[in-house]
């Protein structure tokens, strides 16, 4: 007898119970490393994406990344601080857990983490921004850089605005925009934060910290005659949270290093 035949033998109430246990069986265990604004947002939506939060680790909770505190996690989300991100991620690899990280400001240690991931055969998903909309803007930014290389008269700048509690400056997203632009343009060789003099070949980034702004990023290309603007504004954290939890499902049982382009099929 198949499963549908078995379900016909039970009452409606029994079927609801069966469906409940099927739902529970499909849930994967999620550890949240860093219980700030993003950690709390991820906790709220985790069950909608098939995850049960089995562990929350944060310095304020006086616990650490150990097998005992990880509580049989299938995957871990890491949103902490730039000075602790690399060590957190590698400790999770040591515990045999794949990691999704959105902490920014630790670029200098990224290659070390990537090499360690490959050495242990772990799975790692990293993005400076998990918003689907922002990742579309990343692609448009690359196209803009390529096209502006073919014309004269445009000066490019990047600006970003975030809430006052954001520590890194410029934002990881602004750095991604700048680096992508440099990689697709022969006119610019380096980005610089808030330069007093904007020299040829330097791509300026301007940063603001004000109020409760979730995230505003703007790429401007200005000439004597017109202004081209790419802009992305996040209204709340749900767009980021959705991307994070999609990434968690994506990285389950995988080996290697992945990003939003892999998840969204953008490249």
The whole-angstrom separation of Cα 120 and Cα 113 is 11
Q: Using an 8 Å Cβ cutoff, are 79 and 73 in contact?
A: no
Whether the CB-CB separation of 93 and 228 falls below 8 Å is answered with no
Contact between 89 and 101 under an 8 Å Cβ cutoff? The reply is yes
Structure token digits, residue 199: 């020299």
On whether the CB atoms of residues 61 and 35 are closer than 8 A, the answer is yes
Annotation marks residue 232 as catalytic = no
From 142, 162, 192, 222, active-site residue: 162
Q: CA–CA separation, 2 vs 6, rounded Å?
A: 6
Q: Are 233 and 159 in contact (CB under 8 A)?
A: no
Is residue 73 helix, strand or coil? coil
- DSSP letters, 163-193, are -TT--SSS-HHHHHHHHHHHHT-SS--EEEE
Question: 40, 64, 163, 166: which one is catalytic?
Answer: 166
Name 197's Cβ contacts closer than 8 Å, sequence gap at least 6. none
Token pair of 232 as six digits: 């992305």
Catalytic residues: 162, 166
């Amino acid at each position: 007898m198949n499963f549908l035949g078995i379900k016909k033998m039970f009452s409606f109430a029994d079927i609801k119970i069966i469906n409940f246990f099927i739902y529970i069986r499909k849930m994967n265990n999620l550890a949240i490393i860093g219980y700030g604004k993003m950690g709390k947002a991820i906790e709220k939506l985790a069950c909608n994406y098939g995850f049960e939060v089995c562990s929350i680790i944060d310095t304020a909770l006086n616990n650490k990344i150990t097998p005992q505190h990880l509580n049989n996690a299938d995957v871990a989300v890491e949103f902490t601080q730039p000075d602790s991100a690399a060590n957190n991620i590698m400790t999770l690899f040591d515990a045999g857990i794949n990691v999704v990280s959105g902490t920014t400001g630790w670029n200098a240690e990224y290659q070390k983490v990537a090499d360690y991931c490959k050495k242990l055969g772990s799975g790692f998903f990293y993005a400076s921004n998990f918003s689907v909309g922002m990742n579309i803007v990343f692609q448009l930014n690359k196209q803009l850089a390529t096209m502006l290389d073919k014309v004269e008269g445009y000066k490019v700048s990047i600006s970003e605005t975030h809430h006052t509690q954001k520590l890194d400056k410029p934002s990881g997203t602004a750095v991604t925009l700048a680096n992508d632009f440099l990689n697709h343009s022969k006119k610019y060789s380096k980005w610089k934060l808030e330069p007093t003099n904007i020299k040829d070949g330097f791509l300026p980034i301007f940063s603001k910290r004000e109020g409760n702004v979730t995230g505003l990023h703007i790429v401007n290309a200005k000439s004597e005659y017109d202004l081209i603007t790419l802009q992305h504004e996040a209204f709340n954290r749900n767009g980021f949270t959705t991307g994070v939890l999609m990434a968690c499902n994506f990285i389950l049982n995988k080996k290697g290093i992945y990003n939003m382009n892999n998840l969204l099929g953008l490249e």
